[in-house]
Amino acid sequence: MAGDPSSNGRDSSRIDRRRFLALAGASAGALSLGAAPAAATESPENLAEADIDGFDCDQPIFECGQQVTAAGGMVSAEDPRASAAGARVLAEGGNAIDAAVAVQYVLNVVSPQASGIGGGGFMVVYDAESDSVHCINSRERAPRDAHPEMFLDNGEPRDFDEAIQRSEAIGVPGTLDALETARERFGSRPRQRLIRPAIQLAAGGFTVDEYLSEVIAENRDKFNDAAREVFLDANGNVPQPGDTLTNEDLARTLELIRRDGRDAFYEGPIARDIAATVEGLEGGPGIDERDLAEYSVTIDEPVRKEAYDFEIVGQPVPTSGPTTIAMIMRMLEFLDIEEYDIRAPEKYHLIAEANRVAWADRDQYMGDPEFVDVPVEGLLDDDFLRQRASRIDLDGVIADYAAGEQVPPGVPPGAPERFTPDWAATASTADPVSSTAHFTTADRHGNVVSYTTTIEQLMGSGKMVSGRGFMLNNELTDFDFEPGGPNQVQPRKRPLSSTSPTMVFRDGEPIFTAGSPGGFTIITSVQQAILHRLVYGLEPLEAIQEPSIFSARDFDVMWEPDVPEAAVEYGEARGQPWADEPEEIGNVQVMDVRPDGFTGAADPTRDGLAVGVNLPQARGRSPEKHPESKRSKSKSNKDR
């Protein structure tokens, strides 16, 4: 994992704050730091108010909080400045897609560690007018010179921390193309308006929060000179919470994009600078100007699968997320998970096993559908899932995980013959609580967006495009490092993802959205948010705060604080190895979508803020379509 505090000395990089400010005052160049108003660091609301011109949570048009309800629109994002910028767009009459575009631009500035125009993502759009879902797929692509052995070093998979900093890790970024495609196709406001808050923040400065300060300290070792110039002062010191950071290079880049749109990025001087930055790195085939010029998002049909009385709808492969979530949810339904109390040991055991089963099939069959025939229908087939679920037993486990065994993959209808490489040798376990951002927006017309956006690891490759102010991803390390499997490297291919931008529908109407960062753990975080909200009937914020677990392959079960000790003992007694200590998993943003409005919730594990907009609703949708608990119809609680 990048950013190991023990190796790069997070503590030693912590410097006395007064000394830091004195040094910062003397520094010049791209970095400009200063003390922000003291109130700015007190709460997400204050952060948003300090940094977004004209935004005030006390204005009657806005509702701010970790969970809020409003009729006229909603934004829930991991950063309060992003939520505020999106809510202002909605308040001016912009739609959910306009708001999402504004949110992503602001995240690029204030949360540069998690996403930006140097990365990619998946934007799931519900278009109310046509009553249809469109998945704007801006996953990064491998360069045309990429090859299946490019992550091998003398025939052996390269060390992950080393691999992420090399040129072959960097995929052709897709995020700007996604923003422009979404805006042109579904938006209603000009690019100039939507990019404006981001330009103001980059040029005028924004308040460093605790998380960004920590991430800079923990990842500075992988920074190139350009990143050091922007994120550290002239003496190499890390900005502290409450300081003001500007990124003038990024402001200039965004100005060019404001003027010229996607062409400013995918061709011309910025494209040349991207190619030159990549070329300057050690490594094998890297992206070049031609790869950038050839990049284009795809607009995919969503994957859909019923479970309980709802339908899971989301981005299909090349992210494994929503498809795998749907498999797990259907298996849990077949296993009657709702018969068990929300904190019952049996509930966690069933989730742990269902995850391992679904992951076996994910690993065996999923990859970029432009290159691999993925048997999606077979994987989601009820008979197949019933048969897979029937292997799960409350009295034991399917394989000896402690000894490194895994659940064997199943054979779904339509399954091709497959060779699976040794996963353990192929890829990383991403930092479970950090990378990537998920946010959700909705408007008074009923349009809804669920968008997960990433540069892969925290701060991506650690390499900033020289003079341009944005970080480059290391997304191609999501490919298998060993050749042979469905997720092997191929020219122009997109690596398999775990991101899970998801919507839930009932009776043909969207009722809920969910998504999270967290690498491999994303799938389980989002799946449990859906389970807790729609099967156990918790309120949106409770649903994301209810402790969750992660399991896959032969990993020890990761568990959040508040999972009862009895669950750990129960699992261990049956052969389920659990991690010694609990830890927070994911950062889930969710939203209830109702005919009369929206309830957004933002995960308190970062500075997340939900901002609702009090505009009159535009369409009268019937109030009986409120998300409701399935569990209220199920049998009584057991085993609390």
- With CB under 6 A as the contact rule, the residue among 518, 537, 597, 600 that binds ligand GLU is 518
Nearer Cβ to ligand GLU (90/176): 176
How remote is the C-alpha of 395 from its chain's centroid?
Answer: 35
Q: How far apart are CA 230 and CA 253, in angstroms?
A: 14
Instruction: Report the chain's terminal Cα–Cα distance, integer Å.
Output: 36
Q: Is 298 a catalytic residue?
A: no
Backbone angles phi, psi at 135, to 5 degrees: -110, 110
x/- letters, 69..108, toward ligand GLU (CB under 6 A): ----------------------------------------
**What tokens were used for 495?**
């690596």
- With CB under 6 A as the contact rule, the residue among 13, 167, 364, 454 that binds ligand GLU is 454
Closest approach of Cβ 524 to ligand GLU, in Å?
13
Nearer Cβ to ligand GLU (32/364): 364
Closest approach of Cβ 390 to ligand GLU, in Å?
29
**Considering only residues 459-478, where is the footprint of ligand GLU by CB under 6 A?**
475, 478
Backbone angles phi, psi at 8, to 5 degrees: -115, 10
Q: How far apart are CA 630 and CA 405, in angstroms?
A: 35
Q: How far apart are CA 287 and CA 118, in angstroms?
A: 12
Neighbours of 8 (CB within 10 A): 16
DSSP letter, residue 444: T
**CA of 376: how far to CAs of 347, 503, 527, in Å?**
27, 18, 18
Stretch that binds ligand GLU, among 56-64, 296-304, 402-410, 514-522 (CB under 6 A): 514-522
Nearer Cβ to ligand GLU (355/454): 454
Stretch that binds ligand GLU, among 84-92, 181-189, 279-287, 516-524 (CB under 6 A): 516-524
Closest approach of Cβ 52 to ligand GLU, in Å?
26
Per CB under 6 A, does 480 bind ligand GLU? no
Nearer Cβ to ligand GLU (83/435): 435
Any idea which residue has 């290159």 for tokens?
Answer: 371
- With CB under 6 A as the contact rule, the residue among 165, 246, 497, 551 that binds ligand GLU is 497
Name the CA radius of gyration of the chain, rounded: 23
Closest approach of Cβ 498 to ligand GLU, in Å?
4
Contacts of 555 (CB under 8 A, 6+ apart): 401, 429
Closest approach of Cβ 436 to ligand GLU, in Å?
3
Closest approach of Cβ 499 to ligand GLU, in Å?
5
Nearer Cβ to ligand GLU (213/521): 521
Nearer Cβ to ligand GLU (443/456): 456
- With CB under 6 A as the contact rule, the residue among 140, 456, 546, 603 that binds ligand GLU is 456
Closest approach of Cβ 2 to ligand GLU, in Å?
10
Helix (H), strand (E), coil (C) string for 197-219: HHHHHHHHCEECCHHHHHHHHHH
Closest approach of Cβ 588 to ligand GLU, in Å?
12
**What tokens were used for 392?**
């799960």
Q: How far apart are CA 367 and CA 412, in angstroms?
A: 16
Pick from 196, 236, 233: nearest CA to 30: 233
x/- letters, 580..619, toward ligand GLU (CB under 6 A): ----------------------------------------
By CB neighbour count within 10 A (0-12 exposed, 13-18 middle, 19+ buried), where does 395 fall?
exposed
Apex 72 CA angle, 68 and 75, nearest 5: 50
Q: How far apart are CA 207 and CA 258, in angstroms?
A: 23
Catalytic residue among 175, 436, 441, 452: 436
**CA of 416: how far to CAs of 211, 413, 485, in Å?**
45, 9, 12
Stretch that binds ligand GLU, among 29-37, 346-354, 415-423, 513-521 (CB under 6 A): 513-521
- With CB under 6 A as the contact rule, the residue among 219, 237, 499, 528 that binds ligand GLU is 499
Q: Residues binding ligand GLU: what is the number (CB under 6 A)?
A: 14
Closest approach of Cβ 496 to ligand GLU, in Å?
8
Whether the link from the prior residue into 318 is cis, omega within 30° of 0, is: yes
- With CB under 6 A as the contact rule, the residue among 237, 428, 498, 528 that binds ligand GLU is 498
Nearer Cβ to ligand GLU (315/545): 315
Neighbours of 423 (CB within 10 A): 19
Per CB under 6 A, does 502 bind ligand GLU? no
Nearer Cβ to ligand GLU (264/376): 376
Nearer Cβ to ligand GLU (435/502): 435
The 3-state DSSP class for residue 156 equals strand
Cα torsion through 223, 229, 234, 238, rounded to 10:
-50
Nearer Cβ to ligand GLU (75/588): 588
Neighbours of 183 (CB within 10 A): 21
Q: How far apart are CA 539 and CA 553, in angstroms?
A: 31
x/- letters, 535..564, toward ligand GLU (CB under 6 A): ------------------------------
Nearer Cβ to ligand GLU (114/245): 114
Q: What is the largest CA-CA distance in the chain?
A: 68
Closest approach of Cβ 558 to ligand GLU, in Å?
14
- With CB under 6 A as the contact rule, the residue among 94, 187, 519, 597 that binds ligand GLU is 519
In our burial notation (b when 16+ CB lie closer than 10 A, e otherwise), range 218-233 reads: bbbbbbbebbbbbbbb
**What tokens were used for 427?**
């890829």
- With CB under 6 A as the contact rule, the residue among 517, 537, 540, 571 that binds ligand GLU is 517
What is the residue type of 517?
Answer: P
> 517 near 586, Cβ under 8 Å?
yes
Any idea which residue has 């005052």 for tokens?
Answer: 25
Nearer Cβ to ligand GLU (364/587): 587
Stretch that binds ligand GLU, among 146-154, 300-308, 497-505, 562-570 (CB under 6 A): 497-505
x/- letters, 401..440, toward ligand GLU (CB under 6 A): -----------------------------x----xx----
Active site (catalytic) residues: 436
Residues binding ligand GLU (CB under 6 A): 430, 435-436, 454, 456, 475, 478, 497-499, 517-519, 522
